[in-house]
Amino acid sequence: MKNQLLNRQNKVKLSISVICLFFTQLALGQKNIYENKQFKNITATHQSIAILPFLASVNLEQELTDEMQLELEASEGYAVQEALETYFLKMEKRKHYRVNFQNIKDTNAFLKKQEIGYNSLDILSVKELGEILGVDAIISGTITLNVQLSRGATKSFKLLDYVTGNTKYGRIGIKISDVKTGKLLWKYEKQIDRKTGKNTNELIGSMMRQASRKFPYEK
């Protein structure tokens, strides 16, 4: 009887711990989301949004030339841009967004026409980029990695890494800015690890699903 009672008590404690962990992670996830208090007023007339390539910083455990490093980071940045477009196209029918997302091929073509390369994106202001792209808002962001996520994360971890929680691939931040005012409208940051996905598409899918309750522009 005592053993049965102890087992029940242990199961109850475990259940409570799991529930507490779930709500703690949920609360932490919500804290990583920022939304401008004037979002509805500022975006009332918004019709189109452009998705920019993300600014990437990649630190692999191997020596690369400066040119190879730049190419690597650019490929990761464009991979996030493509993954975001794929996600929004998939979710558009279900979510019923009240704005249109500019085709990223058009976005990149407009930038190229103005001789704006990947490494020049952070030089221009939101207003300047918006005028070039002809949109009302811009989605941009940063991603820091210690793996080449676009090709699939293959980094192996030791048992101690799992115990200490050191299974991180990096961090990603996504933001929406208003072209007319240049103001930050929405921002979401998230740590990247094995749970968030083994490639860029899985990462964006996981990230945006967690942010879906707070993602603006839904009807």
Write the pLDDT tens digit of every residue in 25-52: 433 344 588 999 999 999 999 999 999 9
What's the pTM value of the predicted model, to 2 decimals?
A: 0.78
Q: What architecture (CATH level 2) is domain 34-211?
A: 3-Layer(aba) Sandwich (3.40)
Q: In the chain, where are the structural domains located? A: 1-31, 34-211
Specify whether the backbone of 157 is left (phi greater than 0), alpha (psi in -120 to 50) or beta.
beta
Give the HSE-up count for residue 183: Cα atoms under 13 Å, Cβ half-sphere: 12
Write the pLDDT tens digit of every residue in 182-204: 999 999 998 877 777 777 888 78
CA distance 143 to 185: 19
User: What does the CA dihedral 201, 204, 208, 210 come to, rounded to 10 degrees?
Assistant: 100
The Cα-based distances of 155 to 92, 141, 190 in angstroms read: 33, 24, 19
